[in-house]
Structure 1
Protein backbone atom coordinates (compact mmCIF):
# COMPACT_ATOMS: atom_id res chain seq x y z
CA UNK A 1 0.00 0.00 0.00
CA UNK A 2 1.41 3.41 -0.97
CA UNK A 3 1.94 5.66 2.03
CA UNK A 4 0.99 9.32 1.83
CA UNK A 5 3.78 11.86 1.98
CA UNK A 6 3.91 14.10 5.01
CA UNK A 7 5.42 17.55 4.81
CA UNK A 8 8.55 18.10 6.92
CA UNK A 9 8.50 14.46 8.02
CA UNK A 10 12.10 14.51 9.28
CA UNK A 11 11.47 17.56 11.44
CA UNK A 12 8.28 16.06 12.83
CA UNK A 13 10.02 12.79 13.66
CA UNK A 14 12.75 14.73 15.46
CA UNK A 15 10.09 15.99 17.85
CA UNK A 16 9.86 12.43 19.18
CA UNK A 17 13.58 11.81 19.61
CA UNK A 18 13.05 10.74 23.23
CA UNK A 19 11.11 7.71 21.97
CA UNK A 20 13.35 6.70 19.08
CA UNK A 21 16.64 4.81 19.07
CA UNK A 22 19.52 5.76 16.82
CA UNK A 23 22.24 3.23 15.97
CA UNK A 24 20.31 0.34 17.56
CA UNK A 25 22.92 -2.22 16.52
CA UNK A 26 25.25 -0.69 19.11
CA UNK A 27 22.77 -1.70 21.82
CA UNK A 28 22.96 -5.43 21.10
CA UNK A 29 23.17 -7.17 24.47
CA UNK A 30 22.56 -3.89 26.33
CA UNK A 31 18.89 -3.11 25.74
CA UNK A 32 18.06 -3.15 29.46
CA UNK A 33 20.16 0.00 29.82
CA UNK A 34 17.72 1.80 27.51
CA UNK A 35 14.85 1.19 29.92
CA UNK A 36 16.94 1.34 33.09
CA UNK A 37 15.33 -1.79 34.53
CA UNK A 38 15.36 -5.57 34.27
CA UNK A 39 11.81 -5.96 32.99
CA UNK A 40 11.21 -8.39 30.10
CA UNK A 41 11.42 -6.87 26.63
CA UNK A 42 8.91 -7.61 23.87
CA UNK A 43 9.33 -6.64 20.23
CA UNK A 44 6.78 -5.88 17.51
CA UNK A 45 8.12 -5.99 13.96
CA UNK A 46 6.03 -3.68 11.78
CA UNK A 47 4.08 -1.70 14.37
CA UNK A 48 2.15 0.37 11.82
CA UNK A 49 0.23 3.23 13.44
CA UNK A 50 0.90 1.82 16.89
CA UNK A 51 -2.51 0.81 18.22
CA UNK A 52 -1.33 -2.68 19.21
CA UNK A 53 1.97 -1.77 20.85
CA UNK A 54 0.69 1.28 22.76
CA UNK A 55 -2.33 -0.64 24.07
CA UNK A 56 -0.10 -3.54 25.11
CA UNK A 57 2.33 -1.21 26.85
CA UNK A 58 -0.49 0.46 28.79
CA UNK A 59 -1.92 -2.92 29.84
CA UNK A 60 1.45 -4.30 30.95
CA UNK A 61 3.49 -1.46 32.50
CA UNK A 62 5.75 -4.08 34.09
CA UNK A 63 7.07 -5.01 30.63
CA UNK A 64 9.18 -3.10 28.12
CA UNK A 65 8.39 -2.85 24.42
CA UNK A 66 10.33 -2.10 21.26
CA UNK A 67 8.45 -1.26 18.06
CA UNK A 68 10.03 -1.48 14.61
CA UNK A 69 8.57 0.36 11.61
CA UNK A 70 10.32 1.51 8.46
CA UNK A 71 7.51 3.61 6.97
CA UNK A 72 8.14 7.09 8.36
CA UNK A 73 4.66 8.44 7.61
CA UNK A 74 3.11 5.47 9.41
CA UNK A 75 5.36 5.40 12.46
CA UNK A 76 4.76 9.11 13.00
CA UNK A 77 1.22 8.28 14.10
CA UNK A 78 2.53 5.54 16.40
CA UNK A 79 4.90 8.02 18.02
CA UNK A 80 2.04 10.47 18.47
CA UNK A 81 -0.06 7.78 20.16
CA UNK A 82 2.75 6.78 22.50
CA UNK A 83 3.19 10.42 23.46
CA UNK A 84 -0.53 10.97 23.99
CA UNK A 85 -0.66 7.89 26.22
CA UNK A 86 2.49 8.99 28.07
CA UNK A 87 4.05 5.59 27.42
CA UNK A 88 7.32 5.26 29.32
CA UNK A 89 7.98 1.61 28.42
CA UNK A 90 8.16 1.83 24.60
CA UNK A 91 11.02 2.67 22.26
CA UNK A 92 10.87 2.81 18.45
CA UNK A 93 13.31 1.76 15.73
CA UNK A 94 12.64 3.65 12.50
CA UNK A 95 14.14 1.22 10.01
CA UNK A 96 13.83 -2.13 8.27
CA UNK A 97 15.63 -5.15 9.69
CA UNK A 98 17.04 -8.05 7.70
CA UNK A 99 18.55 -10.14 10.49
CA UNK A 100 17.22 -9.63 14.01
CA UNK A 101 20.45 -11.06 15.43
CA UNK A 102 22.29 -7.92 14.33
CA UNK A 103 20.28 -5.97 16.92
CA UNK A 104 19.62 -8.34 19.81
CA UNK A 105 21.75 -10.85 21.69
CA UNK A 106 20.79 -14.45 22.36
CA UNK A 107 17.85 -14.60 24.75
CA UNK A 108 17.59 -10.82 25.06
CA UNK A 109 13.88 -10.68 24.16
CA UNK A 110 10.91 -12.21 25.97
CA UNK A 111 8.80 -12.48 22.82
CA UNK A 112 8.09 -11.18 19.32
CA UNK A 113 4.83 -10.01 17.72
CA UNK A 114 4.24 -10.13 13.96
CA UNK A 115 0.94 -8.49 13.06
CA UNK A 116 -0.44 -8.33 9.51
CA UNK A 117 2.97 -8.46 7.88
CA UNK A 118 3.43 -7.78 4.17
CA UNK A 119 2.45 -11.07 2.45
CA UNK A 120 4.90 -10.65 -0.45
CA UNK A 121 2.55 -12.75 -2.63
CA UNK A 122 4.97 -13.60 -5.45
CA UNK A 123 6.78 -16.91 -4.97
CA UNK A 124 10.15 -15.40 -5.80
CA UNK A 125 9.76 -13.07 -2.81
CA UNK A 126 9.11 -15.83 -0.27
CA UNK A 127 12.37 -15.17 1.57
CA UNK A 128 11.24 -11.61 2.26
CA UNK A 129 8.24 -12.76 4.29
CA UNK A 130 8.69 -12.21 7.99
CA UNK A 131 7.57 -15.77 8.68
CA UNK A 132 10.04 -17.40 6.31
CA UNK A 133 11.58 -20.37 8.12
CA UNK A 134 15.09 -18.92 8.36
CA UNK A 135 13.70 -15.73 9.88
CA UNK A 136 11.64 -17.69 12.42
CA UNK A 137 14.78 -19.46 13.59
CA UNK A 138 16.60 -16.14 13.82
CA UNK A 139 13.81 -14.84 16.07
CA UNK A 140 14.17 -17.92 18.25
CA UNK A 141 17.86 -17.14 18.72
CA UNK A 142 17.11 -13.81 20.39
CA UNK A 143 14.10 -14.94 22.46
CA UNK A 144 14.75 -16.31 25.92
CA UNK A 145 13.67 -19.79 27.03
CA UNK A 146 9.93 -19.90 27.58
CA UNK A 147 9.29 -17.03 25.17
CA UNK A 148 7.15 -17.12 22.06
CA UNK A 149 6.44 -15.67 18.63
CA UNK A 150 2.87 -14.54 17.94
CA UNK A 151 1.63 -14.02 14.40
CA UNK A 152 -1.67 -12.66 13.07
CA UNK A 153 -2.82 -12.17 9.49
CA UNK A 154 -5.95 -11.93 7.39
CA UNK A 155 -4.10 -13.48 4.44
CA UNK A 156 -4.94 -17.17 4.08
CA UNK A 157 -2.06 -17.93 1.73
CA UNK A 158 0.47 -16.32 4.03
CA UNK A 159 -0.94 -18.21 6.99
CA UNK A 160 -0.71 -21.54 5.16
CA UNK A 161 2.85 -20.66 4.15
CA UNK A 162 3.69 -19.81 7.76
CA UNK A 163 2.34 -23.10 9.08
CA UNK A 164 4.48 -24.97 6.54
CA UNK A 165 7.53 -22.97 7.58
CA UNK A 166 6.87 -23.67 11.26
CA UNK A 167 6.70 -27.39 10.58
CA UNK A 168 9.82 -27.36 8.41
CA UNK A 169 11.74 -25.42 11.05
CA UNK A 170 10.70 -27.94 13.70
CA UNK A 171 8.99 -25.38 15.91
CA UNK A 172 6.12 -26.14 18.29
CA UNK A 173 2.71 -24.50 17.97
CA UNK A 174 1.27 -23.45 21.33
CA UNK A 175 -1.96 -21.82 20.13
CA UNK A 176 -3.67 -21.62 16.76
CA UNK A 177 -6.94 -20.40 15.29
CA UNK A 178 -8.24 -19.56 11.83
CA UNK A 179 -10.90 -17.35 13.36
CA UNK A 180 -9.25 -15.60 16.29
CA UNK A 181 -12.16 -13.37 17.25
CA UNK A 182 -14.45 -16.38 17.63
CA UNK A 183 -11.88 -18.50 19.43
CA UNK A 184 -10.97 -19.20 23.05
CA UNK A 185 -8.09 -16.74 22.65
CA UNK A 186 -10.30 -13.77 21.76
CA UNK A 187 -10.56 -12.28 25.26
CA UNK A 188 -6.79 -11.89 25.56
CA UNK A 189 -6.39 -10.48 22.05
CA UNK A 190 -5.25 -6.90 21.50
CA UNK A 191 -6.11 -5.62 18.05
CA UNK A 192 -4.33 -3.55 15.42
CA UNK A 193 -5.87 -0.90 13.16
CA UNK A 194 -5.85 -3.34 10.24
CA UNK A 195 -7.43 -6.03 12.36
CA UNK A 196 -10.32 -3.81 13.41
CA UNK A 197 -10.92 -2.88 9.78
CA UNK A 198 -10.89 -6.47 8.54
CA UNK A 199 -12.95 -7.85 11.41
CA UNK A 200 -15.63 -5.18 10.93
CA UNK A 201 -16.28 -6.59 7.45
CA UNK A 202 -16.58 -10.15 8.77
CA UNK A 203 -13.10 -11.21 7.66
CA UNK A 204 -11.61 -13.97 9.79
CA UNK A 205 -8.27 -13.37 11.49
CA UNK A 206 -5.67 -16.15 11.49
CA UNK A 207 -3.49 -16.54 14.58
CA UNK A 208 -0.65 -18.76 15.70
CA UNK A 209 1.63 -18.70 18.74
CA UNK A 210 4.94 -20.53 18.46
CA UNK A 211 7.32 -21.59 21.20
CA UNK A 212 10.71 -20.01 20.56
Structure 2
Protein backbone atom coordinates (compact mmCIF):
# COMPACT_ATOMS: atom_id res chain seq x y z
CA UNK A 1 0.00 0.00 0.00
CA UNK A 2 1.36 3.39 -0.99
CA UNK A 3 0.02 6.93 -0.78
CA UNK A 4 1.38 9.04 -3.63
CA UNK A 5 0.58 12.36 -5.33
CA UNK A 6 -0.41 12.20 -8.97
CA UNK A 7 -2.73 13.23 -11.75
CA UNK A 8 -5.72 11.14 -12.78
CA UNK A 9 -7.20 11.58 -16.26
CA UNK A 10 -10.76 10.23 -16.42
CA UNK A 11 -12.50 9.54 -19.72
CA UNK A 12 -16.16 8.64 -20.17
CA UNK A 13 -16.89 5.86 -22.67
CA UNK A 14 -20.27 4.71 -23.98
CA UNK A 15 -20.72 0.93 -23.86
CA UNK A 16 -23.50 -1.62 -24.13
CA UNK A 17 -24.16 -1.24 -20.39
CA UNK A 18 -24.29 2.56 -20.65
CA UNK A 19 -21.61 5.14 -19.92
CA UNK A 20 -18.62 4.16 -17.80
CA UNK A 21 -15.35 5.79 -16.77
CA UNK A 22 -11.76 4.65 -17.11
CA UNK A 23 -8.69 6.48 -15.86
CA UNK A 24 -4.96 6.79 -16.27
CA UNK A 25 -2.97 7.76 -13.19
CA UNK A 26 0.38 9.50 -13.72
CA UNK A 27 2.77 9.43 -10.75
CA UNK A 28 6.48 9.70 -10.02
CA UNK A 29 6.79 5.89 -10.08
CA UNK A 30 4.95 5.34 -13.36
CA UNK A 31 1.62 5.45 -15.16
CA UNK A 32 -1.21 3.09 -14.31
CA UNK A 33 -4.64 2.27 -15.72
CA UNK A 34 -7.48 2.72 -13.21
CA UNK A 35 -10.80 0.92 -13.67
CA UNK A 36 -12.16 1.00 -10.13
CA UNK A 37 -15.90 1.50 -9.63
CA UNK A 38 -15.38 4.73 -7.68
CA UNK A 39 -14.46 6.48 -10.97
CA UNK A 40 -18.05 6.16 -12.21
CA UNK A 41 -19.12 9.00 -9.91
CA UNK A 42 -16.90 11.58 -11.60
CA UNK A 43 -17.20 13.76 -14.65
CA UNK A 44 -14.64 13.45 -17.42
CA UNK A 45 -11.57 15.53 -16.58
CA UNK A 46 -8.03 15.66 -15.21
CA UNK A 47 -7.83 15.51 -11.41
CA UNK A 48 -4.83 16.22 -9.19
CA UNK A 49 -4.43 14.93 -5.66
CA UNK A 50 -3.13 12.13 -3.46
CA UNK A 51 -3.96 8.51 -4.27
CA UNK A 52 -3.85 5.47 -1.99
CA UNK A 53 -2.80 2.47 -4.10
CA UNK A 54 -3.32 -1.00 -2.67
CA UNK A 55 -2.31 -3.14 -5.65
CA UNK A 56 -0.36 -2.90 -8.90
CA UNK A 57 -0.67 -5.76 -11.39
CA UNK A 58 -0.52 -6.54 -15.12
CA UNK A 59 -3.80 -7.02 -16.98
CA UNK A 60 -4.80 -7.63 -20.57
CA UNK A 61 -7.76 -7.70 -22.95
CA UNK A 62 -8.28 -8.25 -26.66
CA UNK A 63 -9.84 -5.75 -29.05
CA UNK A 64 -10.02 -5.56 -32.84
CA UNK A 65 -7.94 -8.72 -33.12
CA UNK A 66 -5.06 -7.47 -30.99
CA UNK A 67 -3.95 -8.14 -27.43
CA UNK A 68 -3.62 -5.10 -25.15
CA UNK A 69 -1.42 -5.42 -22.07
CA UNK A 70 -1.65 -2.76 -19.36
CA UNK A 71 -0.40 -2.11 -15.85
CA UNK A 72 -3.38 -1.58 -13.62
CA UNK A 73 -3.48 -0.04 -10.15
CA UNK A 74 -6.25 -0.49 -7.60
CA UNK A 75 -7.23 2.56 -5.56
CA UNK A 76 -8.39 2.38 -1.96
CA UNK A 77 -9.16 6.10 -1.81
CA UNK A 78 -8.13 9.47 -3.18
CA UNK A 79 -8.03 13.08 -1.96
CA UNK A 80 -8.52 15.45 -4.88
CA UNK A 81 -7.38 19.08 -4.99
CA UNK A 82 -8.49 20.44 -8.37
CA UNK A 83 -9.67 19.47 -11.83
CA UNK A 84 -9.00 20.61 -15.40
CA UNK A 85 -10.65 19.77 -18.69
CA UNK A 86 -9.43 16.66 -20.45
CA UNK A 87 -7.18 17.53 -23.39
CA UNK A 88 -7.12 15.67 -26.70
CA UNK A 89 -3.72 14.29 -25.73
CA UNK A 90 -5.09 13.02 -22.42
CA UNK A 91 -8.08 11.42 -24.13
CA UNK A 92 -5.79 9.72 -26.66
CA UNK A 93 -4.10 7.76 -23.87
CA UNK A 94 -7.47 6.18 -23.01
CA UNK A 95 -8.86 4.20 -25.90
CA UNK A 96 -12.62 4.54 -26.56
CA UNK A 97 -12.66 0.81 -27.36
CA UNK A 98 -11.68 -0.23 -23.85
CA UNK A 99 -14.03 -2.91 -22.44
CA UNK A 100 -16.52 -2.06 -19.75
CA UNK A 101 -15.18 -3.26 -16.36
CA UNK A 102 -18.62 -4.76 -15.72
CA UNK A 103 -17.90 -7.28 -18.47
CA UNK A 104 -14.82 -8.36 -16.50
CA UNK A 105 -17.00 -9.20 -13.47
CA UNK A 106 -19.54 -11.76 -14.75
CA UNK A 107 -20.33 -13.05 -11.27
CA UNK A 108 -21.41 -9.64 -9.98
CA UNK A 109 -23.58 -8.86 -13.00
CA UNK A 110 -25.32 -12.20 -12.69
CA UNK A 111 -25.93 -12.03 -8.97
CA UNK A 112 -27.21 -8.44 -8.94
CA UNK A 113 -30.62 -9.22 -10.52
CA UNK A 114 -30.95 -12.28 -8.31
CA UNK A 115 -30.19 -10.19 -5.23
CA UNK A 116 -32.71 -7.59 -6.34
CA UNK A 117 -35.36 -10.29 -6.76
CA UNK A 118 -34.56 -11.63 -3.30
CA UNK A 119 -34.85 -8.15 -1.79
CA UNK A 120 -38.17 -7.65 -3.54
CA UNK A 121 -39.52 -11.02 -2.47
CA UNK A 122 -38.54 -10.50 1.18
CA UNK A 123 -40.14 -7.07 1.43
CA UNK A 124 -43.20 -6.84 3.67
CA UNK A 125 -46.31 -7.70 1.63
CA UNK A 126 -48.79 -4.90 1.16
CA UNK A 127 -52.49 -5.35 1.72
CA UNK A 128 -54.40 -5.66 -1.56
CA UNK A 129 -51.12 -5.27 -3.49
CA UNK A 130 -50.93 -1.50 -2.85
CA UNK A 131 -47.24 -1.56 -3.74
CA UNK A 132 -48.03 -2.96 -7.17
CA UNK A 133 -48.74 -0.34 -9.85
CA UNK A 134 -52.30 -0.52 -11.09
CA UNK A 135 -52.86 -1.33 -14.72
CA UNK A 136 -55.34 0.57 -16.87
CA UNK A 137 -57.78 -2.33 -16.43
CA UNK A 138 -57.53 -2.26 -12.63
CA UNK A 139 -57.76 1.52 -12.25
CA UNK A 140 -61.10 3.37 -12.09
CA UNK A 141 -62.29 4.43 -15.56
CA UNK A 142 -59.21 2.75 -17.01
CA UNK A 143 -56.84 5.55 -15.86
CA UNK A 144 -53.84 4.51 -13.75
CA UNK A 145 -53.04 6.77 -10.74
CA UNK A 146 -49.68 8.58 -10.30
CA UNK A 147 -46.74 6.33 -9.42
CA UNK A 148 -44.94 8.60 -6.92
CA UNK A 149 -45.30 5.98 -4.18
CA UNK A 150 -43.76 3.34 -6.37
CA UNK A 151 -40.89 5.69 -7.30
CA UNK A 152 -40.13 6.22 -3.62
CA UNK A 153 -40.16 2.47 -3.05
CA UNK A 154 -37.82 1.94 -6.00
CA UNK A 155 -35.47 4.61 -4.65
CA UNK A 156 -35.54 2.96 -1.24
CA UNK A 157 -34.48 -0.35 -2.79
CA UNK A 158 -31.84 1.34 -4.93
CA UNK A 159 -30.16 3.30 -2.14
CA UNK A 160 -30.64 0.78 0.66
CA UNK A 161 -29.33 1.89 4.05
CA UNK A 162 -28.71 5.53 3.01
CA UNK A 163 -32.40 6.04 2.22
CA UNK A 164 -34.07 8.46 2.86
CA UNK A 165 -31.47 10.78 1.36
CA UNK A 166 -30.05 13.77 3.20
CA UNK A 167 -28.97 17.01 1.52
CA UNK A 168 -25.47 15.50 1.38
CA UNK A 169 -25.08 11.89 0.23
CA UNK A 170 -21.90 9.80 0.30
CA UNK A 171 -22.19 6.61 -1.74
CA UNK A 172 -20.68 3.26 -0.85
CA UNK A 173 -18.36 2.57 -3.82
CA UNK A 174 -17.96 -1.09 -2.79
CA UNK A 175 -21.50 -1.99 -3.87
CA UNK A 176 -22.20 -3.72 -7.17
CA UNK A 177 -20.79 -1.58 -10.01
CA UNK A 178 -24.06 -1.47 -11.96
CA UNK A 179 -25.96 -0.47 -8.83
CA UNK A 180 -23.48 2.34 -8.18
CA UNK A 181 -24.00 3.69 -11.70
CA UNK A 182 -27.76 3.59 -11.21
CA UNK A 183 -27.39 5.45 -7.92
CA UNK A 184 -25.27 8.17 -9.58
CA UNK A 185 -27.78 8.55 -12.43
CA UNK A 186 -30.70 8.76 -10.01
CA UNK A 187 -28.97 11.36 -7.83
CA UNK A 188 -28.51 13.52 -10.90
CA UNK A 189 -32.21 13.17 -11.72
CA UNK A 190 -33.06 14.23 -8.15
CA UNK A 191 -30.95 17.40 -8.42
CA UNK A 192 -27.77 16.30 -6.66
CA UNK A 193 -24.30 17.36 -7.84
CA UNK A 194 -21.03 15.63 -7.00
CA UNK A 195 -18.52 17.67 -4.98
CA UNK A 196 -15.31 15.96 -6.10
CA UNK A 197 -13.28 17.35 -3.18
CA UNK A 198 -15.72 16.04 -0.58
CA UNK A 199 -16.45 12.96 -2.72
CA UNK A 200 -20.09 13.43 -1.79
CA UNK A 201 -23.28 14.41 -3.60
CA UNK A 202 -24.98 17.62 -2.48
CA UNK A 203 -28.47 18.78 -3.28
CA UNK A 204 -28.30 21.71 -5.67
CA UNK A 205 -30.14 24.90 -4.71
CA UNK A 206 -30.77 25.78 -8.36
Report the TM range for the smaller structure's normalisation.
under 0.3
Q: TM-score, normalised by structure 2?
A: 0.23
Q: Whose helix proportion is higher, 1 or 2?
A: 1
Q: Whose strand proportion is higher, 1 or 2?
A: 2
Q: TM-score, normalised by structure 1?
A: 0.23
Greater RCO (CA < 8 Å, at least 6 residues apart):
1
